Structure 1
Amino acid sequence: MKGRNQTDLKGMLEKNIYHRLPSFFQELLEHSTGRERDLLTLSSLTVISNCLPFVSGIYNGSEVYPHIYLIIIAPPASGKGRMTLSKYLIDGINNHVVEFSTLAKKICEQKKKDGEHDEECPEIARKIVPANISTTAFYKILNIVKEGVLMFETEADTLTKMLGNDWSDLSDVLRKAFHTEVISLARADGTYLEVVKPKLSILLSGTPEQLKLLMKNKENGLFSRFLIYQFNDVDEFIDVFAVKAQELANAFKIKSDEMLNLFKILREKKGIKFNLTARQEKRFLRFFRKQQKNILEQEFENIISNLKRFALIAFRIAMILTVLRHKDKLENVYKLECSDKDFLIALSIVETLLEHTKDIIVNFDSDFLPELDKNILDDLPVAFSRKDAIISANKFGMPKRTLDDKLNQWILKKIIHKPKHGSYRKL
């Protein structure tokens, strides 16, 4: 595993995880490379996290399920839209759920019409929901679809606008659903809804500006529940007629049928328990305790909550990979133990994404400023040149290259501005 310079926003998943992934993923990603492969891996993990009903494990004394929240952040025209291919993986399941619930509703309405009962008929169920959904409608869907729901949105600000509405308590729902806590809703009209074990996965993409809006929710803990993958690449103009692009899309469409079959098998079994080995549990604790020590040494105290939730997400990723590795031999299987291979892949993914979160905090969180940065800024006058900044940085042992990165970060955070080349002024 590796570390990454905090100011490097281009960190990719470790290449050596790809030949160790379950065959399901290797076949899925056969026609992708580089950044695209990372995007497809992470978005597919998130979508699949909502396709595994009744798979759970015990974590910190509680039963947890494999659901993941992920947001992909990049500028426009960067290729982040490739994540939409992952939606194919759940389309077959969604169609199945919609068809089954539509038939059930028709049968119920016919019986009601025939006078066999006067009860309210069930709503049509869906596995996929948009972010621009009312809180009441969201509660209803979570209550109807016991196997879980995927919130899929290619524009993150759709969600942040909903979070910003005074009349919406969607943030509370998302925070509690991450931990499968009971959620309840009482309205003035007497409406009362309670969902005992809400199961929700979230997959978003957006721009850095849209992420800033989501980061406003960092104090209430919503931000810390998201894995973040950020990059600044501008995508080259791809060959829109290439056979490879169609082969990639076809691979996802084919895997949709496999996911539907796996979904049906797991739903019928009504319970598979996942666990780490005793040795893996010890290594898990050592790994995250070391990460916490590093975070404190690097003055990132404000992402300790992220780290603790990332630990839970690592457990969930290991759970997903384990199920996929055994998907063709689940008959008479009710317990699955994690292999060292899947355990290490999960840790590697989370370690990389933790570095992305640090990058986000450094570059976009105006409340975060390391002690070294404060010392240099305090040493500088209100108006200063790059040469002045280099002299101050040298006093405190900061290299020139690091200082240049810092100057850009301080501009992004609106701590300073640059009226002209080589000149800066504190705000």
Structure 2
Amino acid sequence: MKKETCDEEISDAPKRPAFKMLFIPATTSYTRMQIQMRDNGALGGIIFDTEAETLTTANHLDCGNFNDMLRKAYEHENIESSYKANGTTPITIKHPSLAMFLTGTPGQLEALLGSYENGLTSRVGFYTFRLNPNWKSMDDDSVSQEEIFHPLAHQVFELFNFCLNNPVLFHFKRSQWDQLNKTFSVLLNEVVLEGNDDLQAVVKRYAVLVMRISMVQTRIRQFETNDLSSEIYCNDIDFQRSLEIVLCCYEHSRLLLSSMSSSGKHPLKDPNITRRFINELSDTFTTDEAIKAGANYGFSSRKINRLLKSLNGVIITKMSHGSYRKLSGK
């Protein structure tokens, strides 16, 4: 079946003046998104939609396929293209700024990301939850979302202008850098237990998220106190909050991504099953003992041998043929 396509931009159409639009529709084409991000400049852009499937549908069209732009925008890498649809002038977006906020079901998430190899999974923070079955009033006395967010929107607009007019250099304290490096170094060693090397990218980029969330909180504090300093340091409260937020999202991402390769009909897998298996082993053990313990978790002898080989030097060490010892502090 042929993919659905979108109308191509007309290269000889008269040039229109730049039109800034903060919220970029999830239903868009590759070229249209590039043009909008270029026209927005320092304003950046936000993709917001209550249905993740909306972005998925647009991304799977022939004129979509903008996963690479989403990945580059996360790293603020330059985005460039020179198609016939662009006319005679190539599109260049330097240091793109793009935020994305989507809600949806696990099935919609899998359709959007596809697999770990997509590269987008490590650039997105995930949070899952279940709503309690509480009925919300639908009468005339209920408060609308517009009433709640309208005053907040005005405050955010003032914050945006403050940040735009007062650029700063952001710093972590030495103790904060040490804690960040230690925390994510431990996580990076532990991903071997997940049986999926692609989690390494999640750990590394989630460390970047700690810095970004810390920057946002620090800038809010600076705005609230009208501090015009050209250099700012993150306080310990904001750092700890940012770290807790990201570590929470990391656990949610492990849970969601554990079923990424399934058809969607299987339940979510326990991401800690390998860790629990290792913890059950004695401080010193043999391959036969590991195979016997692994049988309780449904692990084959072949999987046990592969696992012991990959963990050697990380959390265990091989003393002799078929004999292992857990590393202290691991």
Normalization by structure 2: what TM-score?
Answer: 0.71
Residues 19, 40 of structure 2: 8 Å contact kept: no
CA deviations over 1:344-389 (Å, ceiling 9, x no partner): 001101111111111112234339998978xxxxxxxxxxxxxxxx
2:114 is aligned with 1:219:
no
Q: Distance in 2 between matches of 1:229 and 1:371?
A: 18
Query: 1:210-261 CA deviation, whole Å, 9 max, x = no partner?
Result: 1111231531301221111112445422123486x62875343212111111
Deviation string 1:112-142 (CA, Å, 9 cap, x unpaired) is xxxxxxx955232111111111111111111
Q: Is contact 1:142–1:195 with CA below 8 Å preserved after alignment?
A: yes
- SS of aligned partner of 2:232: strand
* 2:221 is the alignment partner of 1:322: no
| Match of residue 182 from structure 2 | 286
Of the candidates 22, 36, 47, which is equivalent to residue 151 of structure 1? 47
Deviation at 1:165, TM superposition (A): 2.1
Matched, 1:179 2:78: no
What secondary structure, in the 3-state scheme, does the structure 1 residue paired with 2:258 have?
helix
Change (3 A) 1:218 1:360: same
Provide the C-alpha distance between the structure 1 equivalents of 2:157 and 2:126, rounded to a whole number of angstroms: 28
Q: Aligned ranges for residues 287-302 of structure 1 at < 5 Å?
A: 287-302=183-198
Give a deviation string over 1:158-216, Cα, whole Å, max 9, x none. 11122222333311111111111000121125632110111000000111211111231
Q: Are the counterparts in 2 of residues 372 and 396 from structure 1 also a CA contact under 8 Å?
A: no
Helix, strand or coil at the partner of 2:185: helix
Go from structure 1 to structure 2 and tell me whether the alpha carbon gap of 1:135 and 1:242 turns closer, same or farther (over 3 Å shift). same
Q: Helix, strand or coil for the counterpart of 1:138?
A: helix
Match of 1:128 in 2: 23
Secondary structure of 2:224's counterpart equals: coil
Matched, 1:206 2:104: yes
1:260 aligned partner: 157
Name the CA shift for 1:287/1:396 in 2 (closer, same or farther; >3 Å).
same
Give the superposition deviation at 1:340: 0.4
1:142 equivalenced with 2:37 (yes/no): yes
Residue 298 (structure 1) shift: 3.6
Alignment-derived partner of residue 240 in structure 1: 138
1:266 deviates by 2.1
Cα distance 1:121–1:208, how it changes in 2: closer, same or farther (>3 A)? closer
The 1-side partners of 2:28 and 2:69 are apart by: 12
Shift of 1:329: 2.6
Partners of 2:170 and 2:215 within 8 A in 1: yes
> Identity percentage over the alignment?
24
Q: Which residue of the partner structure matches residue 283 of structure 2?
A: none
Contact 2:194 2:272 survives alignment (8 Å): no
**Alpha carbons 1:150, 1:201 under 8 Å: kept:** yes
Inter-CA distance 372–320: structure 2 relative to 1 (3 Å threshold):
closer
Correspondence 1:228 to 2:126: yes
Partners of 1:220 and 1:196 in 2: CA distance: 23
- 8 Å CA contact 1:299, 1:370 repeated in 2: no
Of residues 52, 66, 83 in structure 2, which corresponds to 1:170? 66
C-alpha contact (below 8 Å) 2:115/2:261 kept by paired residues: no
Match of 2:262 among 366, 372, 389: 366
Letter in 1 for 2:212: R
Structure 2 CA distance for partners of 1:329 and 1:370, relative to 1, 3 Å: closer
Q: Which whole-Å CA distance do the structure 1 matches of 2:228 and 2:91 have between them?
A: 36
CA separation in 1, counterparts of 2:58 and 2:149? 31
Give, as a single letter, the amino acid of the residue that structure 2 aligns with 1:213: A
User: CA 1:157/1:247 → structure 2, altered by over 3 Å: closer, same or farther?
Assistant: closer
Judging changes above 3 Å, is the alpha-carbon distance between structure 1 residues 338 and 331 closer, same or farther for their aligned structure 2 residues?
Answer: closer
Q: Which moved more, 1:134-143 or 1:196-205?
A: 134-143
Q: TM-score, normalised by structure 1?
A: 0.56
AA at the equivalent of 1:294 = E
Q: Indicate if the aligned counterparts of 1:130 and 1:151 stay in contact, CA closer than 8 A.
A: yes
Equivalent position SS for 1:152: strand
1:61-93, CA deviations, whole angstroms, 9 ceiling, x for partnerless residues? Answer: xxxxxxxxxxxxxxxxxxxxxxxxxxxxxxxxx
Shift of 1:151: 0.5
Corresponding pairs, count: 262
The aligned amino acid for 2:111 is L
**Residue 292 of structure 2 corresponds to residue 396 of structure 1:** no
**Partner SS for 1:294:** helix
Cα separation, 1, equivalents of 2:217 and 2:58: 33
Inter-partner Cα distance in structure 2 for 1:172 and 1:258: 33
SS of the residue corresponding to residue 137 of structure 2 reads: coil
Residues in 2 aligned to 1:369 and 1:236: alpha-carbon distance in whole angstroms: 29
Question: For residues 394 and 290 of structure 1, what CA distance do their matches in structure 2 show?
Answer: 25
